[in-house]
Amino acid sequence: MTRASMTRENLARSAVLSVADSLADCLDILRGVDVVQRVLLIGGGAKSEALCSVFPDTLGIPVTVLETGEYVALSAARQEAWAAGEFPRWSRTASRELRPSGDAGVREFRRRYGLVRRATEAELT
């Protein structure tokens, strides 16, 4: 980072990419136990054009953005139904599919984020 590159836009993009990379780390852990079938973006993240613009490239896979809904309440109700031995299927509506665009800047940020994360982990152990 240089004084010239330290613009509001670059700092904002860095913050968004950091959130996306943190979520990508979580996805990598889930991939390791083979439970990932697809990625759905809901809630506040789905409303963020900044996150939507970088998320597919950060994850390296398409992302389905869902229409706004009461997904937390529905998930709680579904868990209650499962506990009672029922397996309801509620529909959800996708508002759009986001595909990776090949943004080299996003990939480079992911690479550097990983280097810093691993260095920090090593320092803490």
Please give the angle made by the CA atoms of 33, 35 and 39, to the nearest 5 degrees: 130
Distance CA 31, CA 56 (A): 16
Domain range annotation of the chain: 8-99+107-113
What pLDDT was estimated at residue 123?
95
Q: In the CATH scheme, what is the homologous superfamily, with its name and number, of domain 8-99+107-113?
A: ATPase, nucleotide binding domain (3.30.420.40)
Q: Which two tokens stand for residue 67?
A: 């229409």
- Split at pLDDT 50, 70, 90, the class of 109 is very high
Q: What is the pLDDT of residue 18?
A: 94
Tokens of 120: 């920090």
What's the rounded Cα separation, in Å, for the pair 23 and 31? 12
Q: Bridge-partner residues for 63, per DSSP?
A: 98
Per-residue pLDDT at 71 exceeds 80: no
pLDDT of residue 5: 83
Structure tokens at 71: 């997904």
Q: What is the 3-state secondary structure (H, E, C) of 101-121?
A: CCCHHHHHHHHHHHHHHHHHH
